[in-house]
A and B are shown apart, each in its own frame.
Chain A
Amino acid sequence: EVQLVESGGDLVQPGGSLRLSCAVSAFTLSDHYMHWVRQAPGKGLEWVGRSRNKANGYTTDYAASVKGRFTISRDDSKNSLYLQMNSLKTEDTAMYYCVRGYNYAYDYWGQGTLVTVSS
């Protein structure tokens, strides 16, 4: 059974940094585009960024709201995806989901990890 398990969410002060992890199982990570999607409390879904698969050079793209502050990386040997978040702002407070890309959609979602940015 495909599983994605996020971890690393925490309470952090504005301007701080945090690294989220996503451990995947039951599929070959290098074959898939992987994404991060977030959801602020009581709000809708917001795409954060993506890591293309090995065939496409693992290149990354980001939403304008996080570009230059967030970095997506992966370690296929550890079956893990990461989201490094720097210069955090209060508006980054959200549940962060690790998501697998499939046929122009997202077919598997993790349970999410909560990031709270507050002083």
Chain B
Amino acid sequence: QSVLTQPPSVSAAPGQKVTISCSGSSSNIGNNYVSWYQQLPGTAPKLLIYENDKRPSGIPDRFSGSKSGTSATLGITGLQTGDEADYYCGTWDSSLSGSPWVFGGGTKLTVL
């Protein structure tokens, strides 16, 4: 069971908007930056969002991130079939009992 909780799956039609939540605690999301990763089938993960809401060069503005308290959200607008992938949130965790870095369990996005 992951320290960060994500919904196992979300779906939406092409052109629509979808949000993916990532819930944690004060030891992780509450006091650290959150990043998001996209993993297309059969490929390595790719950084989508860092420091809660910043996009690396080359990431379209259809992708956005936000954080409030101990939760974070990834938003994707104008959905395309090429967005079908697994999405992971991640952050540092200051809890002494676990790993310094934690990922969410991942969310599979289906574009219907």
Say yes or no for B99: interface residue by CB 8 A criterion: yes
* Docked CA distance A111–B40 (Å): 12
Q: Check if B103 sits within 8 Å of A106, measured CB to CB.
A: no
Given known contacts A35-B101, A107-B50, what 17 new A-B pairs fall within 8 Å (CB)? A44-B106, A45-B88, A45-B103, A45-B106, A50-B100, A50-B101, A64-B98, A102-B50, A103-B50, A103-B51, A103-B54, A106-B35, A106-B37, A107-B47, A109-B44, A110-B44, A112-B44
List, in ascending order, chain A residues with CB within 8 A of B54's CB. 103
User: Which residues in B have their C-beta under 8 angstroms from that of A35?
Assistant: 101
Q: Which residues of B approach A to under 8 Å, CB–CB?
A: 2, 32-33, 35, 37, 43-47, 50-51, 54, 56, 86, 88, 90-92, 98-106
Subset of 12 A-B contacts with CB under 8 Å? A35-B101, A44-B104, A45-B37, A45-B103, A47-B90, A47-B100, A50-B100, A97-B45, A105-B35, A107-B50, A109-B44, A111-B44
